[in-house]
Amino acid sequence: MGLRRGLGKLWKRLWFRVLAIVAVVVLAFVALFAVAYLVADYRATRELEQEMEKVRESGAPLTLDDLMDEWYVTDASGKRRLRTPDSENAALVYQQAFDLLEAEVNEEEFALIRDLLQTDDPSEWPEEDAARLKSILEKTSGALELAQQASEMAQCQFELEFWKGFEMLLPHYNGLRRVHGLFLAQALLGLRQGRSKEALESCRIALRVSSAVRHEPTLMAVMFRHGFLIVAQKVVHLAATALPPAVEKCKDLLAEVQQQEIDLRRHLQVALEGERAFGLFLYAQLLKGSRVLADLIGMMVTVTPTGFEEGPEHEPFASRLFRSRVGRPVVRRDAAEYLRHMQEVVDVSSQSLPKALKEARIVECQFQPLRNLPVVYIPHYVSLILTSGIQFDKCLGNLAVAIGRCRVTEVGLALEIYKAREGDYPESLEALVPEFFSVLPDDPFTGAPLKYQRDSAELLVYSVGPNGKDEGGADGPTPNEREDELKDDMTWRVRRRR
Cα 289 to Cα 331: distance, rounded to the nearest angstrom: 11
Q: Where are the beta strands (DSSP E) in 78-160?
A: 80-82
DSSP state letter for 430: G
> Strand, coil or helix: what is 198?
helix
* Beta carbons of 322 and 331 less than 8 angstroms apart: yes
* Residue 156 maps to a domain: yes
* Residue 82 maps to a domain: yes
Cα 487 to Cα 469: distance, rounded to the nearest angstrom: 9
At residue 4, the pLDDT reads 62
* Residue 5 maps to a domain: no
Predicted confidence pLDDT, tens digits, the chain (498 residues): 565 666 566 666 677 777 778 888 888 888 887 888 788 888 989 999 999 999 999 999 999 999 999 999 988 787 889 999 999 999 999 999 999 999 999 999 999 999 999 888 898 899 999 999 999 999 999 999 999 999 999 999 999 999 888 788 899 999 999 999 999 999 999 999 999 999 999 999 999 999 999 999 999 999 999 888 888 988 999 999 887 878 999 999 999 999 999 999 899 999 999 999 998 998 888 888 776 665 555 544 443 334 334 444 555 666 666 677 777 888 888 899 889 989 988 999 888 888 988 888 887 776 665 555 554 455 666 777 777 767 788 888 888 999 999 999 999 999 999 999 898 899 999 999 999 999 999 999 999 999 999 887 789 999 998 888 888 887 654 444 444 444 578 889 888 654
* Residue 94 maps to a domain: yes
* Residue 237 maps to a domain: yes
> Strand, coil or helix: what is 82?
strand
* Residue 171 maps to a domain: yes
* Burial (CB count within 10 angstroms: exposed 0-12, middle 13-18, buried 19+), residue 180: buried
Instruction: Report the side by side order of strands in the sheet with 451-454.
Output: 451-454, 458-463, 490-495
Cα 161 to Cα 281: distance, rounded to the nearest angstrom: 13
Looking at residue 351, its amino acid is Q
Cα 127 to Cα 133: distance, rounded to the nearest angstrom: 10
At residue 484, the pLDDT reads 44
At residue 375, the pLDDT reads 47
The number of domains in the chain is: 1
At residue 360, the pLDDT reads 83
At residue 182, the pLDDT reads 96
**301-304 and 307-310 beta bridge pairing:** antiparallel
* Beta carbons of 332 and 48 less than 8 angstroms apart: yes
At residue 61, the pLDDT reads 93
Domain residues for the domain of 151 are: 62-244
Helix or strand (DSSP H, E) at 303? strand 301-304
* Beta carbons of 250 and 416 less than 8 angstroms apart: yes
Cα 196 to Cα 147: distance, rounded to the nearest angstrom: 21
* Residue 269 maps to a domain: no
* Residue 188 maps to a domain: yes
